[in-house]
Chain A
Amino acid sequence: MEGLTLSDAEQKYYSDLFSYCDIESTKKVASNGRVVELFRAAQLPNEVVLQIMELCGATRLGYFGRSQFYIALKLVAVAQSGLPLRVESINTVKDLPLPRFGASKNEQESRHTTSYSSDTENQGSYSGVIPPPPGRVQVKKGSVSHDAVQPRTSTDQQESTSPVVSPQQSPPTSPHTWRKHNRHPSGGNNERSLAGPGPFWSPFSEAQTGSSAGDAVWSGHSPPPPQENWVSFADTPPTSTLLAMHPASVQDQTTVRTVASATTANEIRRQSSSYDDPWKITDEQRQYYVNQFKTIQPDLNGFIPGSAAKEFFTKSKLPILELSHIWELSDFDKDGALTLDEFCAAFHLVVARKNGYDLPEKLPESLMPKLIDLEDSADVGDQSGEVGYSGSPAEAPPSKSPSMPSLNQTWPELNQSSEDTAIVHPVPIRMTPSKIHMQEMELKRTGSDHTNPTSPLLVKPSDLSEENKINSSVKFVSGNTVADGYSSSDSFTSDPEQIGNAVTRQRSHSGTSPDNTAPPPPPPRPHPSHSRSSSLDMNRTFPVTTELCPLKSETVHFWLCISRTSKNKLHTGQQQAGVVAHPPAVPPRPQPSQVPGPHVHRPVDAEGLITHTSTSPQQIPEQPNFADFSQFEVFAASNVNEEPDDEAEKHPEVLQVEKSSDPSGSLRVAKTDGRIEEKTAASAPANVGKSTTPLAPPPKPIRRRLKSEDELRPEVDEHSQKTGVLAAVLSSQPSIPRSVGKDKKAIQASIRRNKETNTVLARLNSELQQQLKDVLEERISLEVQLEQLRPFSHL
């Protein structure tokens, strides 16, 4: 060829381009993908490109030497300027603009390409090849890196799709096809479109035939030209032959591809410009993968079984060996099933492979499933990758067991459970009658008059009383109870749904009617002086009069609900605490005995509750003020009181103590205890540990108080703040006098107090819940880490 004189700008530009294409640094650019792409990016008709190649001598030589390359570039500029291609024009045409290449393999090209790319279907000088999808060209920039499969695919996608997308593209299809074939010598499918992985499953078959033919002819080229696929400049010699096939195959491919990925491809291209991370999944791709996942497994958190995945990926027409390898890479936990992340990684690898990228030996980090959404996910990924890769040592690379994926899902639950142990919450004591109470409460809430004979409350006063007793005993269970009680109430008020009878609960405290003796008295606080308990001035709240029985029952019911729900939530560990704190004594019953019940529930101050409950039926109205610890004290003081109230109160205490069954003992204690016990046993497994068996009834209240104090103390420390708040709230409430006399006023006052207490407790509860969640999360993360580490420590 004639000597080529280049201006400085041209020189530099060409040099850059040559360097870009000269991936092997041999100073001799073979007709590899880059060159092909580059020329394709020039958006010149294929014929022109061919002509250029011939002119520059590449056809002759079979490769692009630097001079040939420069000449070719010059000719491209000439062609782009609309001038006829002549050898002489190389030097004769002055002031030629630098050749512009649509596909942005490089930044260099991108500079030019951007202008072109997008949108227009290459009309103008670029006629054509480039993909109509607007994004394509731009994508080029990103896709330059060969590693960026995505760009490639997207480009391809764009190309392929373009023909389908717009009629304008049809002309370009041939170049497209050409390109496509050229580009990808890699085995198999020309489907370069990594970008459009999904839609092309079916097209694969068609495309395959076409492309394979093309490829076969074409092959010779450097393997997976990572880049720009779409630009693949047909390698000179084979191009012509390929061209013939290309149009057919390409069109097949293109049509096929189009499907969904057109747009995605564009975007993917655009976004995939991560040279350093060729395996990164772009958003579009990810979305596509997720959609495909959904077609197999609607639940995004579920697994795709191995057989289904095998079928799906077999459609890609990759050899089984490669699919097997892809599976090995992507099945992170080696459980034979694919989670969403694993599936995306596998899909991505398949797409990459189809586009000619070699499969990595190790799962790239960006493809590793995020087992833990914590900071150590990277570590996990690395380890997992290593493990998965090496196979053996990883006895369970990040937990081979399927539990790994489930860990993510179970974290919340685990968190909660662990939280339970760590945090004192009112352990809901499940009391069998609680259901009844719930109903009653609901009925009450729903407006059924407590006096209504049909009201469940009235129907089962005995049950309520029992529940009350149980609740109260529960309250005494452990220190947690204090907190639990609070939280229960808080939760109760704040999260009515949790408890189930949201409406009822809320209503219970609303004291809509005098009968609503406030929420069941909070679990008996161990000691009024107890920090926690003091926050809830249970004593004050407890002097509920018997008249408030109906309310009491409600409140008790309320507490039961709370306890139950909280118990459910805080299943492990803390149950004791939680339960105890649970719904204060049974809603006030008409019977005096019921009075103590609701109070008892409050774990806050078991004794207080007890005392409170035992105070007298008069206290029922005050029961809503379960937080009134003074009640507990009163109760404790009235231990000896043989009143049925005491019994009722004692029940909670007894219950608290745990399934202590100290049925004997004082009358009331025995009776209540027995009942409480059975209730507690049924309801609060947690209570077991905490509460001591209230053996001697008379001393029980005292004992329990002490015990609960101790128990509460640690928890109190944790929740001192909360309790402080509660205490403040409660303390503000006037102690409820035991006198039965001031029913109305007392009731209303107690209702008020109870309401306040409820809100405070609800707040506390929510805070505790949050703490629980946090701790559980931590625990889960630690467990995951442990599992990951475990395999290594094995061998």
Chain B
Amino acid sequence: QKVSVEVLDHLEHLALVDFRDSEGVERLQKAIQFADQLHEVNTDGVEPMDSVLEDRCLYLREDDVTEGNCTKDLLENAREKVEEYFVAPPGNIPLPKLEERDTFLQGS
């Protein structure tokens, strides 16, 4: 079962990944096939586990102020800043639609 172009396009929009070429898409297909092997196991009546940490204790921190006040350090990473604010474009710049962007997916 191949992953459709619509799904690949959807993934590129959501995660801003770039499948770049047929090799990238093939890698994704193989990863899905690999994970699909899980379906061979009968899990009826078994509570799903989402982490091997599930039995660990979740540490609770006291409500004390111990961090912050490092504006200068944080802003050092910013390409653009205005009076201690980070600068971003006016809104999200959506990935152009499939027809309008230069992607190998168009050919598929």
The answer to whether A binds B is no
